Chain A
Amino acid sequence: MIWQEEFECMSLDKLRDLQQKRLIELVKRVWDKVPFYKKLFNEKGVSPADIKSIDDIVKLPFTVKTDLRDNYPFGLFTCPVNEVNEIHASSGTTGKPTVVAYTKNDIKLWSVVMGRSIAMAGAQRGDIIQNAYGYGLFTGGLGVHYGALELGLPVLPMSSGNTQKQLQLMHDFNTTIITCTPSYALFMAEEAMDRGIDPRKSPLRIGILGAEPWSQQMRDKIEELWNITALDIYGLSEIIGPGVAQECPGKDGLHVFADHFYPEIIDPRTGDPVEEGEDGELVFTTLTKEALPLIRYRTGDITSITYDKCNACGRTLPRISKLKGRTDDMLIVRGINVFPSQIESVLLDIKGAQPHYQLVIDRKHSLDTLEVQVEVNEDIFSDEIKKLEDLQQHIQREIEAVLSLKVDVSLVEPRSLSRSMGKAKRVIDNRNI
């Protein structure tokens, strides 16, 4: 089902006209309402008068995650905080969360793009959605929820976890669409089998899976275990949350809702656009968002783009490839963004530092685990077991507070962590993704 055919299948010329009109209006709006943008534009020597066509977008400066942090909490809003309708926040890199906000119209927009996503995955009247993305400050749960409301389909706001209840209600209510992280989809299948339930006999027929990177091999495994079509959804809370791009059952790239989120692929070193089909960093401009519009926001995600019409579904929306990596050292663990620098800053705050550390990410029973190995030097070593155990628990609590993620802390011997080229190798990712 195509939820908004007039937009999702519009000719590229018409799409360009619409993007152009929206960009010109957006640039004026942020210039007038957000001092940060006026200053940023001035530094680049550009003003709203310079933006006459969509191609002029390359004259505009980029924005990055740090800009959100530097203007914490509400500095980038176009309106006073009491005029927004919903606020979300994710864990930040220096203890400060990244804050995003939605006006009533923004929530409507989010509902529409998420509605399009769920419909694109193949939802029809009669489907029941089991939403196992986390509800709360994380945008995953509510984003999918709004999409289900937009389509008028029944939705179970399960949130993540409580696998036994997930399996029970899936069976008892005959849910047909599961929305969760790909690793949780695998985990649930394994849990089901452990309980003697054959997941292939479940009523599920579609999985809308995202919030973390996953491979084609993982898709094959999920589809095999559940006997479903497993499709990738892309989003980030800075742009809107889930519902920025979505795969159709053709599985040939993710359709970007480019009438609202204007995509560019750039060379991350030079900032220049790359050729169509070439890999580069994905950049978005939110053309219609009200409370927190972003201009040329650098996602850090590496992908490529094509403007060819999709043979499978007929949509004309540009498609990005499945994500190929990151430009920075950001990790995604159980859907949560983790920067090694966050862990470093926690360790540096602990007396007797600067300890060396290493992050080991694994996927055990389909769930990601994050182990933080901390080298014990003579400054923090104690002959007394309880002092070392206190230290270990203290580090664990501090890291968990910053990341909102359960971690395991291990104390290891100094210089036992591998170094490469004289520099510590900080991250070992054992997940096959």
Chain B
Amino acid sequence: MKVQQLSIFLENKLGRLLETTEVLAQHDINIRAMSLAETKNFGIVRLIVENTSRACDLLRMHNFTVEITEVIAVEVNDTPGELARVLRTLHENELNVEYAYAFVERKQNKAVVIIRMDQIDRAIGVLKAEGIKTLTQQELYL
């Protein structure tokens, strides 16, 4: 399943990442996963939150440039070789990964990999055929 992600533009200025998270904290929005990409000049923070469109509106109200992007959240066992299996499946189907980040679910001994790529629907299909599960937004918050 597809998952919505927030991409937020951050200029190279002290405290901007903090301000982003504070806007979400004030409105009781929990961050499930986060990745920060930085260049010499600016940064992009990517967030997975429960209520994406509400978070997006709130951040825009606070003058942030925000885009909602679609990604997939792949659930794998937290054991060696699992991520390689996911990437091999994508590779064999000539699907290119733009970027990815991951977090671990200690309670269930699972790991979740967030992947941004083109042809998301096809990717979900080929992963499913290999028995690899992609999570919905709701499942990310179970």
Contact = CB atoms under 8 A, between A and B. Distances in A.
A385 B44 contact: yes
Interface in B1-53: 7, 9-13, 16, 37, 39, 41-42, 44, 46
Nearest to B37: A385
Contacts of B44: 383, 385, 388
B82 interface: no
B39 A413 contact: no
A411 interface: yes
Given A413-B63, A416-B11, A388 B46 contact: no
Interface string B54-81: 0000000001111101000000000000
A378 interface: yes
A386 to B, nearest CB: 9
A381 B56 CA distance: 14
A60 interface: no
Contacts of B42: 376, 388, 410-412
Contacts of A378: 65-67
Contacts of B37: 385
A63 interface: no
A385 B39 contact: yes
A388 B67 CA distance: 13
B121 interface: no
Contacts of A389: 39, 41
Interface in A369-398: 376-378, 381-385, 388-389, 392
Interface string A407-425: 0001111111000000000
Contacts of A381: 7, 9, 65, 67
B116 interface: yes
A384 B42 CA distance: 12
B67 A383 contact: yes
A413 B65 contact: yes
B69 A383 contact: yes
Contacts of B10: 413
Interface in A334-385: 376-378, 381-385
A415 B9 CA distance: 13
A252 to B, nearest CB: 47
A411 B37 CA distance: 15
Contacts of B39: 385, 388-389
Residue from B12, B37, B42 having most chain A Cβ neighbours under 10 A = B42
Nearest to A382: B67
A411 B41 contact: yes
Contact of A414 (B12, B16, B65, B69): B65
Contacts of B13: 412-413, 416
Nearest to B46: A383
B10 to A, nearest CB: 7
B9 to A, nearest CB: 5
A409 to B, nearest CB: 8
B98 interface: yes
Contacts of A384: 98
B11 A410 contact: yes
A378 B59 CA distance: 13
B14 to A, nearest CB: 13
A383 B7 CA distance: 6
A376 B65 contact: yes
Interface string B98-142: 100000000000000000100000000000000000000000000
Given A376-B9, A385-B37, A389-B39, A413 B98 contact: no
Contacts of A414: 63, 65
A414 B61 CA distance: 12
A138 B14 CA distance: 41
B123 to A, nearest CB: 17
22 contacts: A376-B9, A376-B11, A376-B65, A378-B65, A378-B67, A382-B67, A383-B67, A383-B69, A383-B116, A388-B39, A388-B42, A388-B44, A389-B39, A410-B42, A411-B11, A411-B41, A411-B42, A412-B13, A412-B42, A413-B10, A413-B16, A416-B63
Given A376-B11, A413-B11, 10 more contacts: A376-B42, A378-B65, A378-B66, A381-B7, A383-B116, A388-B39, A388-B42, A388-B44, A411-B11, A416-B11
Interface of A: 376-378, 381-385, 388-389, 392, 410-416
8 nearest CB pairs, A to B: A383-B7, A412-B11, A413-B11, A383-B69, A381-B65, A415-B63, A411-B42, A376-B9
